[in-house]
Every structure is written in C-alpha cells, then in structure tokens.
Chain A
Amino acid sequence: GDSVTQMEGPVTLSEEAFLTINCTYTATGYPSLFWYVQYPGEGLQLLLKATKADDKGSNKGFEATYRKETTSFHLEKGSVQVSDSAVYFCALSHGDSSYKLIFGSGTRLLVRP
C-alpha cells in the first residue's frame, strides 16, 4: 500500500541555518504530496503542497519539489528561525482515495537562538 517515510528527528539547528527534511513515498501513479506543520499544543496546518511531478510548493520561505524519479518531496528552507520549531509531517493523497491523507511519522525541528 501507499506509504511515506521521513527522516527521524529531532533535527537541531542554529538560527539562520539551512534546513532539509527528507521525505520519500511509495505509491502507484501520481499522488498529491503535502507538508504539514504542527506547533506545540496545536493541530496540523498545511504548509505547502504539490500535485504533479516537477511542481514546486512554497510558503513562508519553505520549499519542496515533487520528484517522481526519486519518489521524493524534501522540505527545505534557506534560513530557519526560532519560530520554525515544530513537528513537520510529509503526507500524500492518492487516486480514488484523495480524501484520505497518509502521513509520515513526523520530524521534530528545534531551532536554537
């Protein structure tokens, strides 16, 4: 079945460092791909998405490119801030079950001043 694999955390960075969180997926065809963020004590917020190969999703300085050849959707940000500390989830939805999101296990990011 469809699945999402994320790099394990926690990822600890200093403010203004470059961020990469790896995400790979297993799915037939062309799923839609998402990154969600969960701040402490809150629900999930959609950060960005891409619906077809080579699409780049971007929001709030974060970017991710849908790579069909490597089945990846890595999250990047050029300069992280303390306020970016949160848990990041990669997810996909697919085909006839497009209403159903399949999530990775999450990666905790801690940004130190």
Chain B
Amino acid sequence: DAGVTQSPTHLIKTRGQHVTLRCSPISGHKSVSWYQQVLGQGPQFIFQYYEKEERGRGNFPDRFSARQFPNYSSELNVNALLLGDSALYLCASSFTANTEAFFGQGTRLTVV
C-alpha cells in the first residue's frame, strides 16, 4: 500500500505569491494533519482535519488555510507568501483523529 504522498516535492515561489500544497492520506485514513518544519527546528502543528471538518488549528496567521475533500485528500494554501514561510511542510495521516500519525516526505517550499 502507498504511504502518505505529498506534491510537489519541491517548490520555489516569490514573496507575495500564493501556494497550494497537496496531500493524499494512506488508504482508509480519515484524518490529515499539516506541520511546518523550519530548517533546524522541530515540526510545528498547523491544522488537523477529520471527516472533512477542521478539528484543530495551531498558532499560524489567517494566510494559512486548508481543506479536506470527500476522498480525504487535503490541500494547504498559503497566501501572501513571506520569506519566513520557507520550510518543509509535512502532512500526516491517521485512521481517526487520535490514532498514530504517519508522515509523508514533505514539500520543500522556498520563498525568494
């Protein structure tokens, strides 16, 4: 079975632009979480979605938004990109909202 898949793997954007990152969970998993990992730091929680509803949100500005689709895949959107948004964005899926999270390989976003 495929694990958590994220696309694209790498992305370069200019300040002020918008970006959409995509995540497909493990088959049968209904929960997707997003994390931001700045170089040299641990991942920070951004969002969790379960059964297409937002279950939790971390301390991120409103420029960050996400959604989950009927097939449980998810998108993370970031508007008005800043240099500080450069990071590895990790998606994790789990069977339910509170079971073990399995992480994808991440999308490396560079803002120039």
Give the B-binding residues of A (Cβ under 8 A).
4, 36, 41-46, 89, 91, 97-106
- Contact present for A103 and B44 (CB under 8 Å): yes
* Pairwise interchain contact B100-A101, C-beta atoms closer than 8 A: no
Whether the Cβ atoms of B101 and A101 lie closer than 8 Å is yes
Query: What are the 10 A-B residue pairs with the smallest beta carbon separation, nearest first?
Result: A103-B42, A43-B103, A44-B103, A43-B105, A100-B45, A98-B98, A99-B97, A99-B48, A105-B42, A103-B43
**Does any Cβ of A come within 8 Å of B25's Cβ?**
no
Q: Mark B37-64, 1 if CB is under 8 A from A, else 0.
A: 0001111110010100001101000000
* Contact of B76 with A by CB under 8 A: no
Q: Which among B55, B105, B106 is the interface contact of A99 at CB below 8 angstroms?
A: B55
- CB A8 to nearest CB in B, in angstroms, measures 10
Docked CA distance A42–B102 (Å) = 12
User: A98 vs B105: C-alpha distance in the bound complex, in angstroms?
Assistant: 22
Query: Using a CB–CB distance below 8 Å, which chain B residues touch chain A?
Result: 4, 31, 33, 35, 40-45, 48, 50, 55-56, 58, 90, 92, 94, 97-98, 100-106
Inter-subunit contact B103/A102 (CB<8 Å): no
Q: Which residues of B contact A104 (CB under 8 A)?
A: 42
In this complex, what residue of B is CB-closest to A103?
Answer: B42
In the complex the two chains form, is A97's CB within 8 Å of B56's CB? yes
Residue in B4, B31, B101 with the greatest tally of chain A CB atoms within 10 Å: B101
Shortest Cβ distance from residue A12 to the other chain B in the assembled complex, whole angstroms: 17
Given A41-B105, A44-B90, A101 contacting B43 (CB threshold 8 A): yes
Q: Are A43 and B42 in contact (CB under 8 A)?
A: no
Contact B45 A43 (CB under 8 A): no
Decide yes or no: A99 and B33 within 8 Å by CB, A105-B42, A106-B42 being known contacts.
Answer: yes
For this complex, 28 residue pairs linking A to B, each with C-beta atoms less than 8 Å apart, are A4-B42, A36-B103, A42-B105, A43-B4, A43-B90, A44-B92, A44-B103, A45-B103, A46-B100, A46-B101, A46-B102, A89-B42, A97-B56, A98-B98, A99-B31, A99-B33, A99-B55, A99-B56, A99-B94, A99-B97, A100-B33, A100-B48, A100-B56, A100-B58, A101-B101, A103-B42, A103-B43, A106-B40
